[in-house]
Structure 1
Amino acid sequence: MKAKELRELTKEELTQKLEALRRELFILRQKMKTGKLEKFAQIKQMRKDIARVLTLQRERKNPTKREEK
């Protein structure tokens, strides 16, 4: 999922998206342990998506002012 798409979501939608991504990551890790996961890159991508959502939540929670040089 792209950051541009995530920026259009509301706070509640971001929270729901984060929960869904974490559930999916849990399922992927279970599949990896049982040997049923075929594409290991999915785990890496899922972790990056979770990081994007967390970054956007933090940006909205603590907006900072950029200092111009």
Structure 2
Amino acid sequence: MNANDLRDKTVDELRDMLASLKKESFNLRFQQATGQMENTSGIKAARRNAARVKTILNQKAAAAAE
């Protein structure tokens, strides 16, 4: 996921993407807790992608406030 690609999306698309990333993060944490997780780097990637989306949302909100 690239930040430049995220900037092209609308606010609604970004919110939907953030919700799906949070669900994915929850599912990965649940898999880790039950010992079913094979790829442990997925948690880190999901958290970073969610942070990217939040950053872009905040940037768009600041630009709209100006």
Q: Which is higher, the Rg of structure 1 or of structure 2?
A: 1
How far apart are 1:8 and its partner, in Å? Answer: 1.2
Number of residue-to-residue matches in the alignment? 63
- Written as runs of structure 1 = structure 2, the 5 A alignment for 1:1-69 is 1-63=1-63
- Structure 1 residue 4 displacement after superposition: 1.5
Letter in 1 for 2:47: R
Structure 1 or 2: more helix by fraction: 2
Displacement of 1:5 in angstroms is: 1.5
Secondary structure of 2:20's counterpart equals: helix
Gapped runs of 5+ residues in structure 1?
64-69
Task: Give the counterpart letter for 1:56 in structure 2.
Answer: I
Identity %: 37
Measure the CA separation in 1 of the matches of 2:31 and 2:52.
24
5+ residue gaps in structure 2?
Answer: none
**Structure 1, residues 13-36: CA drift from partner, whole Å, max 9, x if none?**
000000000000000000000011
Residue 7 of structure 1 and its aligned partner are, at CA, apart by: 1.1
The alignment partner of 1:36 has SS state of coil
